[in-house]
Amino acid sequence: MPNFNNIVGRADVADAMIPDQIINEIIEEAPKSSVMLTNARRTPMSKGKAKQPVLAELPDAYWVDGDTGMKQTSKATWKNQTITAEELAVIVPVPDALIDDSDVPLWAQIRPLLAEAIGHKIDGAALFGQDKPNSWPTDIFTAAKAAGNAIEAGTNADLGADVAALGALVADQGFAINGFASKPGLNWQLIGLRTETGQPIYAPAMSQSQPATLYGYGLGEVYSGAWEPDKATMLGLDWDKQVVGIRQDITYDLFSEGVISDAEGKVVLNLMQQDTKALRVVMRVGWQTAIPVTRAGKGKKKIYPGGVITPAASSPVAA
């Protein structure tokens, strides 16, 4: 009897004969850069500690009384602010068998993520005091609020007006904001804002070499994971006064021998015995805020080269 129904289907074929396609690309976000390493003034350090001279006393001038009046004297003084380099490091072990069997270059994927982790730690410590080394100064958010340089979003007509008011507060202490750092996504709240003449105050980033600007000054949204949106919407800073000291830039070392121990000294991994390699990343970095005396800030209890916009109690930003 003729048979016209025998067809070889997928159920009749082993998986090995029709293997799934392996896409040799990991879907992930590009590593986020550190706002501190990108914007602060960087200085190399030849030692573990460096001293930054900062103006401590301003000279005065005096009117001379008459043609033969006595001219008075004055002086300027400086003080040292210390930058202490602290070490950031981590080790990532991966078994050789996993590396060999992987269809993607794992080490090449891991390296930029480690650099991002370093940046996250630096940003968190400097901006909000997260796990901050004791040798580093008071974090930017806390110091700005202590100097009175804080405005709640919604205090004025819109966020743009709040930023302008913050700039005036900082200027009253003798400093000039020349850049901003903000929570992720703030650009969507800024796009519709205009000046009284209808000009946009915010310009979105056109490319990597042309970042977003607010009132003509660079605005960087902090995507490193360090931002605390419940504390701050935006920071406005004189970035020239934020100094990052680099004692040792990021280095990567791959080890095939050695052991990894826990805090009690117990060996938890033997690289040679367990056929594993370990990538170690190390960076030694310091940070300091230079706060020179200013004529505008003379007589004030505290001054600081930056300020903060704190979150509104309830209402969203108006356009």
- Mean pLDDT for the stretch of residues 7-24: 50
Q: Could you tell me the two tokens for 18?
A: 């029709």
pTM of the predicted model as reported, rounded to 2 decimal places: 0.85
Predicted local confidence at residue 125, as pLDDT: 98
Provide the domain count of the chain: 1
Give the chain's largest Cα–Cα span: 135
Q: What is the pLDDT of residues 50-89, one digit of tens each?
A: 988 888 888 999 999 988 899 999 999 989 989 999 999 9
3-state helix, strand, coil in the chain (%, to 5): 20, 30, 50
Give domain status of residue 252, yes or no.
yes
pLDDT at 2: 63
Asked if the structure places residue 28 within a domain, the reply is no
Q: What is the mean pLDDT of residues 98-117?
A: 88
Strands 242-255 and 202-203: unpaired
3-class state of residue 141 by DSSP: helix
256: in domain: yes
For residue 65, is it within any domain? Answer: no
Question: What confidence score (pLDDT) does residue 206 get?
Answer: 73
CA dihedral 123, 284, 41, 50 (to 10 degrees): 130
User: Does the pLDDT at position 216 exceed 50?
Assistant: yes
- Is 104 a member of any domain? yes
Could you give the CA distance from residue 172 to residue 161 in angstroms, rounded to a whole number? 17
CB-based contact 127:115 (threshold 8 Å):
no
Q: What does DSSP assign to residue 210?
A: B
Query: What mean pLDDT is reported for the chain?
Result: 87
In a domain, 88, yes or no: yes
| pLDDT interval class at 4 (50, 70, 90) | very low
Which residues touch 112 (CB under 8 Å, ≥6 apart)?
Answer: 31
pLDDT of residue 24: 46
> Which domain CATH number covers 275?
3.30.2400.10
Q: Could you list the residue range(s) of the whole structural domain that residue 286 is in?
A: 35-59+73-292+303-310
